Structure 1
Amino acid sequence: MSPDARIAVDAMGGDEGLAVMLAGVARARRKFDGLRFFLVGDEARIRDGLATHPNLTAASEIVHAPDVVTSDEKPSQAIRRAKTTSMGVAIDLVKQGRAAAAVSSGNTGALMAMAKLSLRTMPGIDRPALAALLPSLGETDLVMLDLGANTECDARNLVQFAVMGAAYARTALDLESPRVALLNIGTEDMKGTDIIRDAAARLRDATHLPMTFSGYIEGDRISRGHVDVVVCDGFSGNIALKTAEGTARFVADLLKRAFRSSIRSKVGFLISKPATELLRGHLDPNNHNGAVFLGLNGLVVKSHGSASEVGVSHALSVAAKMVRDDLTRRIAQDLGNFEKQAA
């Protein structure tokens, strides 16, 4: 990563407050030597918070923003206040070229609207998509997109999502040729809507891209480790994501109830504690935090609003990897190669 590269952090966004955001930045700083930041928000409060993180002082520049986008604020309202909010100023630093990426734990809808309006979509991309890393039984996590940015998509959109998702997987998961699949109601060729079948046909013909099209995948196979990138429209993706998160919480709560049900169960918990801790860590959303808006003329990462220090650090790590591997250039190059082949 260039020594001049900086990540703009919306220090005031998120449910857990400034202290957790700064702790996460400090953790990321220790992980990535040379990583530097713009800390955007209330200057006096940020300066006071830095007193407990001396390692950040020399690596950070405070950019004052007097206002904060609230969690329940409508995107249209937030856009009108973009120039004075910590979220809007962080994105604007990317637009100006002063920051290589922006990270926020704030309002998702507002962040998407601000980022799209300020940075615009890349040439050849019709719509940006929200992508995230999800746990998998494979050797790495998997990338899934779109997770809610676009409720309705045509075949061209899905193909673009596949190209962007594969480029992101090469960066985030260090894969040379990610396995890409379309989320569908079955794996047979005739299954699904005309849009999904059309997108599949186009992806099967894309033989010169650094990806392997694996056809269709059903919802119950997403995390089995058979593919690296799952592509869908934002409506289906958001439902699948929320269902998976709910199932993970259900399993965790069920285990807690079972282990507390009797003395024998409590003894069994002590014996199996290493395994349950491994499971808890694998399912902990903080260890997979950092959704990415792909397809914009700039890098923007959405951290979960309730992310812990570890989660914030992970989101910043995602941003650092994208900057290091110049993800925007990769997407543009892959998309250009696909369009040349399709012509």
Structure 2
Amino acid sequence: MGGDHGPDVVIPGAALSVQRHPELRFLLVGDRGRIAPLLERHTKLKDRSEIVHTDVFVTMDAKPSQALRQGRGKSSMWMAIDAVRTGRADAAVSAGNTGALMAMARFILKTLPGISRPAIAALWPTLRSESVVLDVGATIGADAAQLVEFAVMGEAMARCLLGLEKPTVGLLNVGVEEIKGAEQVKEAGRILRGSKLPMEYAGFVEGDDIGKGTVDVVVTEGFTGNIALKTAEGTAKQLSSYLRLCLSRTLMSKLGAVFAAGAFEALRDRMDPRKHNGGVFLGLNGVVVKSHGGTDALGYATAIDITLEILRNDLVSKIKADVEIMTGLLKQPDIMQDKQSEPSL
């Protein structure tokens, strides 16, 4: 029921997903009066769906604490996540209020043992292919241990969604030199450098390395990650507007646009945010994926595609196994000894 368009996007998006993946079944949680008429237009989806009625839903401007109090046990968002907890559903996908979704998911599903805070991970288009970037908004500020947790969850996601046996992982920093950056980032780097996790720690990366695809996983805390994400989205829109203006200025530029139409179409497809939609909530005892609230049916279907890949590759179990390795690593006394012996600059 959430997002900018509610069921008007969710139902067509789910219908597109059923065409791609006929084995899927859906619990459509929300107002039956709004959902049922839309479902009549999509016979295949109707045959693979069940409506779970509630007329209570979380508004996009609701505070997380308010959503928890007022929607507990009866809002569509709560009931969808609780279906994951009880095993009635394998995963929950929502375009609703991000803060409320994270608060409810953490309250209902709890975090995995060894994970202090969950993170939101996004697939980021790069010059090479795609990279996993986290956290992009769940945790504002993070200490070294939490950054290591993010690295563990990010490499597990990269193995699941990108098909990589040993992903490269970098810590986002103000420079690539080891002496630069906040102390918690440098400490996280020291820990990851001696890690026996299924990853290749590549050191520090800078902001321009995200788009280059320098590493498979970029790790940062939520404040910086969210700003980076929104900046990239805004820059893409800005460049698109510039391109349209330049191509329509003169007769020659318009003629050139006709000849280059195929190339521009390929560029548009590569930069289409709908093809990369879906923020994955990592570190929970269950799978929850956040779709962009302003996306259309194609974008929502992409979020469902990502969810399905996470389930097929059993991401939660991979994170559990890697967290156990990480926990043992953090208990090793030599980690702290390395920290104490390093000269301060």
TM-score (norm 2): 0.93
Distance 1:257 1:82 in 2: 49
1:98 aligns with 2:88: yes
How do 1:210-289 residues align onto structure 2 when only pairs under 5 Å count? 210-289=198-277
1:110 corresponds to which of 87, 95, 100 = 100
Q: Report the AA paired with residue 291 of structure 2.
A: S
Aligned to 1:131: 121
3-state SS of paired residue (2:111): coil
Deviations 1:272-330 (A, max 9, x none): 11111111111111110000110011111000001111100000011111111111110
Aligned-pair CA distance for 1:17? 2.9
1:141 aligns with 2:130: yes
Aligned-pair CA distance for 1:96? 1.2
Distance 2:54 2:295 in 1: 22
Aligned to 1:164: 153
1:31 corresponds to which of 7, 11, 20 = 20
Aligned-pair CA distance for 1:239? 1.1
Distance 2:24 2:164 in 1: 24
Relative to structure 2, which stretch is displaced further, 14-23 or 182-191? 14-23
Aligned to 2:6: 17
Q: Report the AA paired with residue 283 of structure 2.
A: G
Distance 1:239 1:42 in 2: 34
Q: 4+ runs of 1 displaced by more than 6 Å?
A: none
Aligned-pair CA distance for 1:167? 0.3
1:121 corresponds to which of 111, 128, 131 = 111
3-state SS of paired residue (2:288): strand
1:191 corresponds to which of 170, 180, 185 = 180
Distance 1:110 1:341 in 2: 33
Aligned to 1:8: none
1:83 aligns with 2:73: yes
Deviations 1:169-227 (A, max 9, x none): 11111111111100001111111111111000100111x32111110110012111221
Q: Report the AA paired with residue 293 of structure 1.
A: F
3-state SS of paired residue (1:254): helix
Q: Report the AA paired with residue 157 of structure 1.
A: Q
Distance 1:225 1:295 in 2: 24
Alpha-carbon RMSD across the aligned residues, in angstroms, is: 1.1
3-state SS of paired residue (1:301): strand
Q: Structure 1: give runs of 5+ residues left out of the alignment.
A: 1-11
3-state SS of paired residue (2:29): strand
Distance 1:33 1:230 in 2: 34
Relative to structure 2, which stretch is displaced further, 289-298 or 55-64? 55-64
3-state SS of paired residue (1:223): helix
Q: Report the AA paired with residue 146 of structure 1.
A: D
Deviations 1:50-73 (A, max 9, x none): 111100122111111211211111
Distance 2:203 2:34 in 1: 51
Aligned to 2:341: none
Aligned-pair CA distance for 1:341? 3.9
1:40 aligns with 2:29: yes
TM-score (norm 1): 0.94
1:294 aligns with 2:312: no
Distance 1:293 1:280 in 2: 28
Distance 1:341 1:111 in 2: 32
1:308 corresponds to which of 288, 296, 302 = 296
Aligned-pair CA distance for 1:33? 3.0
Aligned-pair CA distance for 1:77? 1.3
Distance 2:45 2:246 in 1: 44
Report the structure number with the largest CA radius of gyration: 2
Alpha carbons of 1:251 and 1:305: their partners in 2 closer, same or farther (altered >3 Å)?
Answer: same
Percent of residue pairs bearing the same amino acid type: 49
Aligned-pair CA distance for 1:44? 2.8
Distance 1:242 1:45 in 2: 32
Alpha carbons of 1:188 and 1:55: their partners in 2 closer, same or farther (altered >3 Å)?
Answer: same
Q: Report the AA paired with residue 85 of structure 1.
A: S
1:337 aligns with 2:320: no
